[in-house]
Structure formats: structure tokens, C-alpha cells
Amino acid sequence: MDPFMHAAIAEAQLGLAEGGIPIGSVIVHQGRIIGRGHNRRVQQGSAILHGEMDAFENAGRQPSSVYHDAVLYTTLSPCSMCSGAILLYGIPKVIVGENLTFMGEEALLRSRGVDVEVLQDATCIELMRGFIASRPELWNEDIGVESDGDA
């Protein structure tokens, strides 16, 4: 497997081990990981630290020339917030682990010129299928969807 998707999956698995939502991401510049992260909704009570956002934050402030020459790996199709961050910083290429359990804003990204590649990786799919089945209300919260009983 691509070592960078492997690193994103390791982040997702770390999040799961922490009791969190198993989505991970890494940002790669010239063959080196400059930021890695995973969803921190549970761990930090965060509404904005999706895996991709956590990777952007952990990469720190970067010049636009770095973003414009970077590849973002994420285990799951990026939602509108994370896609917006990708567009803000002009990341030209996004490698997505899978989009079967959740379809993010891939069409918007492509319409703005981003190269989006989807692997449909079995490990990524299984991570999300197991998580969604066990914690549907937490998953719905993370993607802004109302759960039954959400008052």
C-alpha cells in the first residue's frame, strides 16, 4: 500500500483506540509528511477537528508554495468543511481512502480543478462500517445530520 495512505489509516486507528471517530489524514510535501491528524470530536470536544483539519493544524503555518505542491491523504471522502480548507489553501491533489460510507464534496473539488483519486480501500471501508454501526448518533453529529431523538 501507498505508505502515506498507510500513515493516514494509522491515524484513524489511533483515533479509534482513543474512543474517537476513526478518520485520519496526512499532508505530504515533496515526499515528506508535514502534518498528520485524526478526528478529535470525542477526545477534545471539538466541532472542527476532523481528520483533515487536524492535519492542517498540525502542519502549522505554511507558505502557499508548500500547499500548492502538496498531496492530502484522507481515509474518508472529505466533507464540505475539509473540502473548503483544501480549496482555501489550493491543495492540488487529494487521495481518498473510500467514499462508500460517506460521499463528501468530491464534485465541488473536481469542479475547482483538484485532482481527486479514490482508492476504495478495504481497511478504510471496514473502519467506517464498524464505527457507523456501533455509534450512529456520534457519526451523525460529526456530519451535521439529525439523529432520532436529537432535540
Sign of the C-alpha dihedral, residues 14, 129, 55, 33? positive
Binds a second copy (CB under 8 A): choice among 1, 17, 133, 151: 151
Element (H, E) at 116: strand 115-118
Please report, as residue ranges, which positions from 115 to 144 form the binding site for a second copy (by CB under 8 A).
140-141, 143-144
- With CB under 8 A as the contact rule, the residue among 3, 48, 107, 129 that binds a second copy is 48
* Residue closer to a second copy (CB basis): 42 or 123: 42
Minimum distance from CB of 9 to a second copy (Å)?
22
106 is catalytic: no
DSSP state of 145: -
**Maximum alpha-carbon separation in the chain:** 47
DSSP assigned state of 147: P
Q: Compute the least distance from the CB of residue 111 to a second copy, in Å.
A: 10
Using the minimum distance from each CB to a second copy, give the nearer residue, 10 or 108: 108
DSSP state, residue 98: -
- The C-alpha atoms of residue 28 and residue 33 are separated, in whole angstroms, by 4
| 125 touches 105 (CB < 8 A) | no
For the annotated catalytic residues, the residue numbers are 52
User: Which residues of this chain interact with a second copy, rule CB under 8 A?
Assistant: 41, 45-48, 53, 56-57, 59-65, 67-68, 79-85, 87-90, 105, 108, 140-141, 143-147, 150-151
